[in-house]
Structure 1
């Protein structure tokens, strides 16, 4: 199955009602002509019939089903002081809703029920999540106070196959970005003319480098990624190997697949926009988003 055929088939499979080909094109981010060609091929293969996915089509998608989600939620959130003195940043409420809930709600809506939350700072407070999400499994990161987020991924290294990985301090405004099926490893990214944040260098849709800041068509990194079974298995080795390097404790986990072991991975950029995801970096930004904090 080609990537375009996958996009069309998975869009049809997850739609609440039959879609026109124009609607499929809009949701899949493809041209109508490409959708027409894909639908024709899928119909010939018996995977689609009369705008519906067939049983054979569902079977064909099964290897691409997302099986689990890992949420990194161990950090202190120093730039959000004073609110984080007593509350972990992912549990801070924005508009009455915990930041982490915007991710968890999207994950469960996509039918992903194997969910892991890696906790550290004020870790016991994450027990409250179990009231709303009783199937969550909590993983303790004992090194959160002496290492970067790579220590959280070392703790979760056995759960990265067919998995989304999230930074848990992201306010996810567009839950449709979290889909039931994925066919290749990817990161969400925002095309920008200029950014001072972490950025990808992207060529033909593939991430070629990772660095801080850039201009002239860079992609600003968003802390949401997906990893295929094959790449998740490699991450289970390469993340601990990066952690064990001199200075490895200070690394961000993303540097393992995108810098230190980049030759072993082919990771794609998946486009989103500034309106889809908001990272609240400071208490001042929190005040601007939620007037309840503007005292």
Structure 2
């Protein structure tokens, strides 16, 4: 039985906290009114999904279709803006305060129970083998087109694995692992609410992304963060749509997320999921790296 959104929100909160919560606590965590929480908890109790304000085994079973089952890391590119350090090291493997950038992302996945991890590699591919000492569960996908096409070529390699899957840009420095969630009701893209931005942004209406563009300002502008989740149905659609756009005129020059958000957007309703500047940062240039980690400032 498919859960309603409100049923999911309450079950997800109980599962994430792994303990019983009061209705007042559930009101704070879900954003639903106390009356709504009370009504939905009665529904969930009758279904056998909760008891004494805690989630049951049946409740965990009901959440299972919404669980993130795998993670795909897009890590094939050169990282030209981080020259000179990327001459010898792929950007995701660059160390910040002694820790590889990608490690924070992988650790957050494992913490959320996501153990099926794929890394799409290309530039200096063999260097990613070092990850296997710490993360023996990783599997590698090879992108032979990384130097001739945009990152849509990496999604093409992984297109049959996108259902119930996170997709990560592998060069994001994560500070708050809690933003990598175990359960998702629908496909979503992380973004930061901004008054104005010159970066890649989403225009959002009623919580759903309606446009992707560079730069913007206003109440509905969200700056894109390169972490998204794709539910089972959307993952199946992406497997075909990515191939179709890649094969179309100019398709090799596209960014992969433009498939569901631009070129085939009528087939998707991708929600925005909020995070904040302090949660994660993309290190775009060597100057930014030096500002974060003074050991590079020599």
* Range of TM-score over shorter length: over 0.9
2:85 and 2:98 map into 1 onto residues whose CA distance is 14
Map 1:134-213; keep pairs closer than 5 Å: 134-213=136-215
2:221 equivalent to 1:221: no
CA distance in 2, matches of 1:282, 1:32: 47
CA distance in 1, matches of 2:15, 2:162: 24
Q: Give aligned pairs, total.
A: 295
Residues 17 and 141 (structure 1 numbering): CA distance in 2 closer, same or farther, change over 3 Å?
Answer: same
Partner of 2:126: 124
SS of corresponding position for 2:7: helix
CA 1:54–1:239: 2 relative to 1, 3 Å:
same
Would the aligned equivalents of 2:14 and 2:20 in 1 still touch at CA under 8 Å? yes
Distance, in Å, in 1 between the alignment partners of 2:293 and 2:86 is 15
Q: Where do 1:104-119 residues align within 5 Å?
A: 104-119=106-121
Change (3 A) 1:20 1:291: farther
2:61 & 2:125 partners in 1: Cα distance?
40
2:260 to 250, 257, 262: 257
> How far apart in 1 are the matches of 2:228 and 2:25?
26
- From 81, 84, 88, the counterpart of 1:82: 84
When the two chains are superposed, the root-mean-square deviation of aligned CA atoms in Å is 1.4
Specify the alignment match of 2:14 in structure 1. 12
Q: CA deviation at 1:244?
A: 1.1
Q: TM-score, length-normalised on structure 1?
A: 0.96
Query: Kindly tell me: are residues 19 and 97 of structure 1, through their superposed partners in 2, closer, same or farther at Cα, counting changes over 3 Å?
Result: farther
Q: Which residues of structure 1 form unaligned runs of 5+? A: none
Match of 1:70 among 57, 69, 72: 72
Inter-CA distance 27–124: structure 2 relative to 1 (3 Å threshold): farther
Distance in 1 between the 2:267 and 2:130 partners?
Answer: 39
Query: Distance in 2 between the 1:89 and 1:30 partners?
Result: 41
CA distance in 1, matches of 2:178, 2:30: 11
Give the deviation of 1:88 after TM superposition.
0.4
Residues 267 and 292 of structure 1: CA distance in aligned 2, closer, same or farther (over 3 Å): same
Separation in 1, partners of 2:284, 2:24: 38
Aligned twin of 1:231: 234
Deviations 1:264-294 (A, max 9, x none): 1111111111111111111111111111111
Please identify, of 219-228 and 35-44, the stretch whose mean Cα deviation from structure 2 is larger. Answer: 35-44
**In 1, are the aligned partners of 2:20 and 2:55 still within 8 Å (CA)?**
no
Match of 2:272 in 1: 269
SS in 1 for 2:199: strand
